[in-house]
Amino acid sequence: MSLPKNEYVSDVWKDGLFEKKVVFCTGGSGSICSAQVRALVHLGANACIVGRQVEKTERVAKDIATARKGAKVLGIGSVDVRSVESLQKAVEKCISELGRIDFVIAGAAGNFLAPINQLSTNAFKSVMDIDVLGSYNTLKATLPHLVKSAGNHRNDGKTANPAGTGGRIIFISATIHYTTMPFQTHVSVAKAGVDALSHSAAVEFGPRGVTSNIIAPGPISGTEGMERLATKEDNAKAHKSVPLGRYGTVKEIADATVYLFSDAGNFVNGQALVVDGAAWRTHSSNPGSSFPYPDFLLNDEVVTGVKGGKNSKL
């Protein structure tokens, strides 16, 4: 079912902005990443989204394709970002069917709430593997194509390249590790690694014209993350605690993506774009805030009331 444009991209961007471009996105069937890709497709791009679940990934790809008549959106399921070979096969299929890769969104991630004493080594490793290793594998598998695209879309900052932009990657991160929060040790460590990876890519491949940046979403309404990690109490008080007085929308993450991939983002490299209404500066809107600190930890209580709880012991 086609979504209204105002749910996934703003009117400020011109149609055809990304004509003939191709975006490759891991975690593309998720609520945030699918909105990012949908915005790019609406603005002229074709896309390839990859995920673990075959049926869901293919279904979301077909839905994204309704954003623009004639759009080509591949949905490749059964892809494990922890395996670079699995990702390389997906990249090869993308190149075979769509011809190129100009933009990449590394969005595959895992999360749940758990204090350290309920967080097993395997559970910790699982998040590290999906977030950090998965992001690294995504970068490795797509880099040759990003470098090629960057070479074809050089820009001196004065005159727009008639071929448009290309050779850009965005890593989806978070703000949790900026100051740390309980129940999210695994995610804090993983996202800090993702940020470091993006910064290194910016420095090493900037000379080749590739830009590497981060989008760090805050609390975004209607997303799988907030549904799994936040209790009803968290959601009820969040609108008061976020400085802008509300949750963000997937459209606002998509708009940030369009900015970084567009001519407006030509000289933006090695940066983290936080889209959270200043929520991280207050902490009170974070998932898990309904579990009283430090009493919850001192009493060795178990996280309950959320779909994304983890009860494994060391």
| Residues catalogued as catalytic | 173, 191
Nearest to 212 by CA among 220, 202, 222: 202
| Nearest alpha-carbon partner for 26 in 137, 168, 167 | 137
Judge contact between 168 and 104, C-beta under 8 A.
yes
Report how far Cα 110 is from the mean position of its chain's Cα atoms: 11
Dihedrals φ, ψ of 50, to 5°?
-125, 150
Report the SS3 class of residue 104: strand
- Residues with Cβ within 8 Å of residue 242, at least 6 apart in sequence: 218, 219, 276, 277, 278, 279, 282, 285
Residue 182 neighbours by CB distance under 10 Å: 17
Q: Which residues contact 125 (CB under 8 A, 6 or more apart)?
A: none
d(CA 117, CA 37) in angstroms, rounded, equals 38
First to last CA, the chain: 45
Helix axes 31-42, 250-261, angle to 10 degrees: 50
Compute the Cα dihedral for 272, 27, 48, 247 and give only its sign. negative
